[in-house]
Structure 1
Amino acid sequence: MTTFGIEEEFFLVDPRSLRPAGLADTVVHDLSTDAEAPGFVTHEFLASQLERSTAVFTELAEAEADLAGFRSELAATARMHGVLAVGTGTTFDADAAPTLTDSARYQRIGAGVRGVVRDHQICATHVHVGVPSREAGVHALNCVRVWLPTLMALTGNSPFWRGRETGFDSWRAVIMRRWATTGCPPAFADAADYERRIRRLVGVGATVDTATVAWYARLSEAYPTLEVRVADAQLDLAPTLLLAALTRALVVTGLAEAERGAPPPEVEHELLDAALWHASRDGIQGKLLDPASRQLVAARAVTGNLLRYIDDALDASGDRSRVIALLERLWRIGTGAQQQQRYFRAGGLPGLRTLVESSSA
């Protein structure tokens, strides 16, 4: 069965103000260092962030148990230091000038992007799916790219910026647009085309290496995987698991289509880019771009089309029933952004604090 792994980023925040707290060094140090423990924890760009990369999974149930165990450990460790660990694309409020992690690479990136650093206070969820070769991975990437707006809509979780509602489900996606390379990757002819074009970007626009090419989907430079990076960090496990299952099924479908010699879906780059902006604003509450018709269609209908597209892959992995249940939950309670908005509108900052505390328990 096709393998996958997940990278989850978290903010450490003050429990009262929900502003970032630069304690990642301390919290990362105190997390379990058991050599037998799966996955690993690292610092991220900001001193208020950390990232946890899982081990490699074949079953969604494995991922759920692993992620739940780590989140519990992280929550307890953070609370021990007087902060909350929160999965959110942006914090409710933000620092005027964030502190970068003391790393030569991060300092170099910060120097290159200059004033962008002030607003680049964001966290994401990444899913890696195993591919047999970079050639096969490029074919899969050409299929996955057209569904990135749908995945974004299902995982928006950053409705606030500097203490105010933005009107967007994913303000993180808006902030990301300031990066030199972001959004939907172009379609590629083959692996050689991909390698040539991604390496030409190095040195241009603060792209210090290929790892800083920030497309929402790309081939990993470190692992034999296709990495999807479109989602905000998530409050709880359910949307993370949904994202992982859908992403794996999309990659598997793309690989199967390549084997059959089927051409990838053709959607113009500019249309996908506009659709990403549209999805970051409205999430699942409005319409999304349907890759087949290239028209805006109700979000539920587009999601249904996605499920039909990945039908065989969901059956092969045994994830169909879980995906349907997770989607039903999503339609019922909304995305993380909708939940944050609902709690804030009902109770202001104390109301939002209630949601954040429960999500980091």
Structure 2
Amino acid sequence: MRTVGVEEELLLVDPASGEPRAVSEAVLAQARDEDGLEKELQSEQLETATSPRERMADLALEIRRRRAVASEQARAVGAEVAALATSPLPADPSLSPGRRYHRLAAAYGLTAQEQLTCGCHVHVQVDSDEEGVAVLDRVRPWLAPLLALSANSPFWQGEDTGYSSYRSRVWGRWPSAGPVEAFGSAERYHEQVKAMVATGALLDEGMVYFDARLSHTFPTVEVRVADVCLDADDTVLVAALVRGLVETSARAWRAGEPPAPVPVAVLRLAAWRAGRSGPAGPLVRPLTWAPASAETVAWALLEHVAAALSDAGDLEMAEELLNRLLSRGGGAAVQRAILDRSGDLRTVVREAVARTTG
């Protein structure tokens, strides 16, 4: 069984106004090492990280526990945490202290200054870089549907953007972000990363912001395409699907099946559509690359990884969680429904705080 771990970036907000609060340093100063909390680019963010887990039930418990710990530590300094991929209310982000963050600000200007976005990164264990790159080459068609399912950022600077994941549009400003071509081998992957860093356009290897990459810290494939999910159940679903994709792709590689020959330009269009529509659809269906409903694409993804999910004991759980998500809508739909009911973005934030640990 491949282990899987999840990193979630959470927004720190004022409990009364709902506005982002730059208190991550205060939170981290009092946090314990075992809390699994880290700082991010902006002081209005906090990152949680689970341990690697084999059983999805154990991962689900830890995701909720990490959120609860983050909430407890934030409240101790007069703030709350919200699993929102962008702030619904206007924000003027504050860069976290640290030499690397200041280098980012100097090198990338407004892109770094405005980058108050919260993602969800899923790490799945692989046996080698060669297997990892084989997986990266084969998961490419299925990353846009993951973005659609996780979409949780309809608002930006107090306005409805018309997108379900506006985070994905803001994140795409980084020079290395987005889908990439198939590499063919670990050697070619590392050659390309080295060549990218050598251009001077990136500070270091940590800035290789592909939608999915080899982790430069752990022996894992790291899928970085998703918004942080409002509901922890959706995070669990994304993690299960990512592990299913990794295992399905590794099996295809061992069987000698080549990756689908889809151009990066088409992947970019599918990602744009996923960010625009979310799980309400329409989306671009992988492999046929024709328009299709979100339900059709979501169930095609689950069918693609069904054997791997079944072998891991995750199939029934994934089917149930996917049915729930499609029935209620994703995070963006929930946020918009709260706004329609209340007419107040502060209420959106307050209810997001409650849902984050509820």
Report SS of the residue matched to 2:145: helix
* Counterpart residue number, 2:77: 81
Q: Normalised by the size of structure 2, how large is the TM-score?
A: 0.96
CA distance in 2 between counterparts of 1:307 and 1:11 reads 30
Q: Deviations over 1:244-264 (max 9, x none)?
A: 000000000010000000011
How much is the aligned-residue C-alpha RMSD, in angstroms? Answer: 1.4
Contact 2:4 2:125 in 1 (8 A): yes
CA distance in 1 between counterparts of 2:155 and 2:199 reads 31
CA distance in 2 between counterparts of 1:89 and 1:203 reads 31
CA distance in 1 between counterparts of 2:59 and 2:335 reads 25
Report SS of the residue matched to 1:51: strand
CA distance in 1 between counterparts of 2:257 and 2:150 reads 29
Contact 1:109 1:206 in 2 (8 A): no
1:287 aligns with 2:309: no
Identity in percent = 35
* Counterpart residue number, 2:136: 141
Contact 1:47 1:99 in 2 (8 A): yes
> What is the CA-CA distance between 1:351 and the residue it aligns to?
3.3
One-letter amino acid matched to 1:8: E
* Counterpart residue number, 1:246: 241
> What is the CA-CA distance between 1:14 and the residue it aligns to?
1.3
Contact 1:84 1:360 in 2 (8 A): no
1:334 aligns with 2:329: yes
> What is the CA-CA distance between 1:223 and the residue it aligns to?
0.9
* Counterpart residue number, 2:20: 20
Equivalent runs, 1:248-287 vs 2, <5 Å: 248-287=243-282
Report SS of the residue matched to 2:257: coil
1:49 aligns with 2:61: no
Q: Normalised by the size of structure 1, how large is the TM-score?
A: 0.95
Q: Judge which range, 271-280 or 10-19, deviates more.
A: 10-19
CA distance in 1 between counterparts of 2:114 and 2:89 reads 11
Q: Deviations over 1:50-109 (max 9, x none)?
A: 11221110011111111212211221221222211111110112433x221111111111
Q: Deviations over 1:228-251 (max 9, x none)?
A: 001111222111000000000000
1:108 aligns with 2:103: yes
Q: Aligned to 1:66, which of 59, 62, 65?
A: 62
> What is the CA-CA distance between 1:206 and the residue it aligns to?
4.1
1:91 aligns with 2:87: yes
1:121 aligns with 2:134: no
CA distance in 1 between counterparts of 2:53 and 2:13 reads 30
CA distance in 2 between counterparts of 1:27 and 1:206 reads 33
Q: Which structure 2 segments of 5+ residues have no match?
A: none
Q: Aligned to 2:183, which of 163, 185, 188?
A: 188
> What is the CA-CA distance between 1:290 and the residue it aligns to?
1.5
CA distance in 1 between counterparts of 2:127 and 2:188 reads 18
Q: Aligned to 1:355, which of 347, 351, 354?
A: 351
Contact 1:10 1:123 in 2 (8 A): yes
1:170 aligns with 2:165: yes
Q: 1:19 to 1:203 in 2, by over 3 A?
A: farther
Report SS of the residue matched to 1:201: helix
Q: Which structure 1 segments of 5+ residues have no match?
A: none
> What is the CA-CA distance between 1:350 and the residue it aligns to?
4.5
CA distance in 1 between counterparts of 2:346 and 2:197 reads 45
Task: Report the count of equivalent residues.
Answer: 356
One-letter amino acid matched to 1:308: E
Q: Deviations over 1:8-37 (max 9, x none)?
A: 11110112332211100111222233xxx4
Contact 2:81 2:356 in 1 (8 A): yes
Contact 1:126 1:227 in 2 (8 A): yes
Q: 1:121 to 1:203 in 2, by over 3 A?
A: farther
CA distance in 1 between counterparts of 2:24 and 2:292 reads 42
Q: 1:357 to 1:7 in 2, by over 3 A?
A: closer
Contact 1:113 1:206 in 2 (8 A): no
One-letter amino acid matched to 1:182: A
CA distance in 2 between counterparts of 1:265 and 1:258 reads 12
* Counterpart residue number, 2:154: 159
CA distance in 2 between counterparts of 1:205 and 1:228 reads 25
Q: Aligned to 2:221, which of 226, 230, 233?
A: 226
Give the 4+ runs in structure 1 shifted more than 3 A: 203-206
* Counterpart residue number, 2:338: 343
Q: Judge which range, 73-82 or 322-331, deviates more.
A: 73-82
